[in-house]
Amino acid sequence: MQALGRQIVVEYYNCNPEKLNDTALIKRAMREAANACGATVVQEAFHLFNPHGVSGVVVIAESHLAIHTWPEYGYAAVDLFTCGEEINPEVAFEYLRDALEAGNFSAMELKRGMLEVARGQKLPFKPEPVAT
C-alpha cells in the first residue's frame, strides 16, 4: 500500500494573539511555509473576520495549507495536506509553529489515499499532462 499524500492536522496553542489577527502576517507565513517545504503555490485566499480572527488557504500544486485563527484564545487550527514524496509537511508545520510563536501544540499525521500498487511500482500522485 502506498499513500497519495500526508496530512498533518495541527492545533497551535498559546500563540501570539497579535500575529493571529494580522492578515498580512498570516498570509506571508502560510506562503513562506509552503515555499519552505518545497511546494508550488498556485493560489491564495485569506479573510479577516470582525471583530477578530483570520481564515485562509494556500492552494499548492501538491494540495493545500489552511488556517483558522482565534486570537482571543491564542489558538490556531491548521491543516497541512501535501501529495507526493518530495514535499514534507513537517517543514511547514515547524515554520508555522515558529512564525505564530506557539507555546505548545497538538498534531496528528494521516496518510491519505492509501492505494494498492504493483510491487516495485511508484504511485503517481498527479496525472501526466495531456497533449493538446
In 3D space, the residue among 64, 70, 68 whose CA is nearest the CA of residue 92 turns out to be: 64
Q: Which of 15, 37, 64, 83 is catalytic?
A: 83
- Could you tell me which residues come within 8 angstroms of residue 72 by beta carbon, excluding any fewer than 6 positions away? 17, 52, 53
How many of the other CB atoms lie within 10 Å of CB of 58?
A: 26
In 3D space, the residue among 108, 127, 95 whose CA is nearest the CA of residue 6 turns out to be: 108
Is 63 an annotated catalytic residue? yes
CA 73, 44, 54 angle in degrees (round to 5)? 15
The CA distance from 45 to 31, in Å, is: 11
Is 68 an annotated catalytic residue? yes
Is 83 an annotated catalytic residue? yes
Q: Which of 15, 37, 63, 64 is catalytic?
A: 63
What residues are annotated to the active site?
63, 68, 83
